[in-house]
Amino acid sequence: MDVIRVVLVDDHEVVRRGVAALLDSEDDIQVVGEAGTAESAVTRITALQPDVAVLDVRLPDGSGIDVCREVRSRMPGLACLMLTSFADDDALFDAVMAGASGYVLKQIHGSDLVGAVRTVASGQSLLDPRTTASMLARLREQESRKDPLAALSPQERQILDLIGEGLTNRQIGERMFLAEKTVKNYVSNLLGKLDMQRRTQAAALVTRLKAERGERGDLRPW
Q: What is the pLDDT of residue 145?
A: 60
On the question of pLDDT at 221 being above 50, the answer is no
pLDDT, position 154 = 87
Give 119-164 pLDDT, tens digit per residue: 999 998 877 555 555 665 666 566 556 667 878 888 998 999 999 9
Q: Give pLDDT tens digits for 162-216.
A: 999 999 999 999 999 999 999 999 999 999 988 888 989 999 888 888 887 664 5
Residue 48 vs residue 95, higher pLDDT: 48
pLDDT in tens, 8-27: 999 999 999 999 999 999 99
Model confidence at 46: pLDDT above 90? yes
pLDDT value at residue 213 = 64
Average pLDDT over residues 50-68: 94
* C-alpha–C-alpha distance, residues 101 and 159, integer Å: 44
Mean pLDDT value across residues 86-99: 78
Of the listed ranges 25-34, 90-99, 160-169, the least confidently predicted one is 90-99
Q: Please tell me the predicted confidence (pLDDT) of residue 209.
A: 83
Give the pTM: 0.61
What sign for the dihedral angle of Cα 213, 214, 218, 222? negative
